[in-house]
Amino acid sequence: MNQSWHIAVLKRLVLLLGGALAIGLLTEQITLSLLIACTIYLAWTLRNVFRLISWLDSAAESADILEPPSGHGLWGELFDGMYRLMRKQERARSRLKAVINRFQESTTALREAVVFTNGQGQIEWWNPAAEHILGLRNPHDVGQLITNLIRHPRFACYYEQKSYGEPLILPSPVSSEKKLHYSITLYGPENRLLIVRDNTRIHQLEQMTKDFVANVSHELRTPLTVITGYIETLSDNISLLPAPPIPVMPRALDQMQSQAIRMANTIEDLLILSKLETADSQQDLMPVSIAPLLESVANDARSFSGNRNHNITIDCKTDTKILGNSKELQSAISNIVFNAVKYTPDNGNIRLKWNVELNNGYLSVKDDGIGMEPQHIPRLTERFYRIDRSRHASTGGTGLGLAIVKHVLLRHDATLLVKSRPGRGSSFTCQFPQSRLLREAA
């Protein structure tokens, strides 16, 4: 809208009031003439206001934008300006509607369930796949709380948290035989985008793999025990053989025994992993005192260190306990500490620390060993992952220790934090949530 209407309005007012004043001077009724002029101008203004309101009402009821009323001066500019604004908004609405239509078409084509919830956790929209995967019903479930429709304690805890770095695997609310993969993205003011994928086939394949590994490990244990026993018998009684043993026999028996022990340790770790993956994480829960646990692990680590003379210390100044499985926790911490012993030079320092900060429990193992490059840290808990195969051969590990640590911590709702630099040592910290901490009564 240009500025010429200002001049036109002023001219119209000057002419109207000037004419009224002239007539008033001639008729000696100046006040009455000015009053009549103002009344005429007000009536003209009200007429245009009524025309504007009528036009806006008709436009609101019509699907199309109606042509504006004709007008001059200020009102003409106002009608034309509002008409242009309405056309601009209509074009913007059309573009937005096209985007929404494309979005709905794309989400409708997805096999994954897509659900939008507001800040109160109420369902606002979902795609057709959500009806099949989650059993949502339209329009009955619109506005319902998502936690009322997916009734699983772990989902409720997962939904309420604001950190969704890891997905959640749960049985389907429609069929307990199906396994669903939940992932959530937080956006806007507490709004959430929930994406759910049917993970049943992958879960079945993983379960078949786990069962196969567990069965093979179990079947190998007995023959390996027999082989190890005969090797030990031959090693202990090699001098009693009827013919003089060949020179390489003692060394060959030692290597056979060493490799048999290594294989037995690998099988034992595989069986432990299998048990951790299949057993109920809520079984055998009890308050676990951290101080005695750390003392027991430290004593075992000192024995494992032997004449390498590592300085293993404990820093535990709080009596907070953990609700968990004592054997599993000891196994996890022992794996971390024994790794520290393996990769810390003779006479090195290893520190075990337990403290509570910001309602979370932190159990850390810090050493001044050889450390590692940062790119290896994300893969440390993978089965049989090797940073350096020559390093693995020299330490005699199975490559499963940190995988066991990961599964134990998952069963205790805990996370593993790793920091390391080559030549500067490593720090492994187990972070336990407030729900797992038990404080002694004062």
The tens place of each residue's pLDDT in the chain, 442 residues long, gives: 455 666 766 777 777 778 877 887 777 777 888 788 788 878 887 887 888 888 777 777 776 777 777 776 677 777 777 888 888 888 888 888 888 788 777 777 788 888 999 988 899 888 888 888 888 888 888 888 988 888 888 888 888 877 777 788 888 888 888 888 999 988 888 889 999 988 888 778 777 877 777 777 777 778 888 888 878 887 777 766 666 667 777 788 888 888 887 788 777 777 777 777 776 666 678 888 888 999 999 999 999 888 888 898 998 888 788 888 888 899 899 999 998 998 899 899 999 999 988 888 899 999 998 888 888 888 888 887 777 655 555 555 677 888 888 888 888 888 899 998 888 889 999 999 888 888 764 4
Q: CA–CA distance from 5 to each of 15, 40, 44, 52 (Å)?
A: 15, 20, 16, 18
Could you tell me the two tokens for 80?
């034309």
The one-character DSSP state at 246 is P
CB atoms closer than 10 angstroms to residue 194: 23
In DSSP terms, 365 is beta-bridged to 352, 428
Rounded-to-integer distance, Cα 244 and Cα 246, Å: 7
- The contacts of residue 343 (CB under 8 Å, 6+ apart) are 367, 369, 370, 391, 395, 426
Please say whether the beta carbons of 45 and 39 come within 8 A: no
DSSP 131-157: HHHT---TTTTTT-BHHHHS--HHHHH
b/e map 340-373, b = 16+ CB within 10 Å:
bbbbbeeebebbbbbebeeeebbbbbbbbbbbbe
Could you tell me the two tokens for 434?
């407030």
- For tokens 């055998």, the residue is 284
Please say whether the beta carbons of 155 and 182 come within 8 A: yes
Dmax of the chain from CA atoms?
Answer: 155
The one-character DSSP state at 328 is H
Handedness of CA 270, 271, 272, 277 (dihedral sign): positive
CB atoms closer than 10 angstroms to residue 135: 14
